[in-house]
Amino acid sequence: MEDNTNLLDSLFEKATDYGITSFELIKLKALDKSTDIVSSLIPLSVFILLIASFLLFLNLGIAFWLGEMLGKIFYGFFLVAAFYILAGIIIHFFLNEWFKRLVGNYFVKHMLK
């Protein structure tokens, strides 16, 4: 009888240790995946910030240039704004699902890596 009790206690202790170890492994895997995603997003966000700065100054230059050509500076800004509203409408209606799929696939790829 005592043999069975010792065997059950040992089995219960091993099952508890296995559960704790499995839980720790899950936490470590989640930490690894989240740090992988964050560490890949930081260089991407710096790149996007640099591209946005470049586009800002490019658009300012184009707006001033168009404004000079048209006679009044604010005409150039209106033309650049009209271009962006048109591009935004096209992206919203035609490329919205593509962007969602692109971002979703990026995160899924990094989660399953």
Q: Are residues 48 and 61 in contact, defined by beta-carbon separation less than 8 angstroms?
A: no
For residue 71, name the pLDDT band (cuts at 50, 70, 90).
Answer: very high
Question: Could you identify the residue written with the tokens 């593509």?
Answer: 98
pTM of the model: 0.58
Which residues fall within 8 angstroms of residue 64, CB to CB, at 6 or more apart? Answer: 73, 76
Average pLDDT across the chain, whole number: 88
Q: Measured between alpha carbons, how far is residue 93 from residues 54, 100, 105, 111 in Å?
A: 26, 13, 20, 29
Asked whether the predicted pLDDT for residue 17 surpasses 70, the reply is yes
Q: Delimit the domains of the chain by residue range.
A: 2-112
> Rounded to an integer, what distance in angstroms lies between the CA atom of residue 107 and that of residue 95?
19
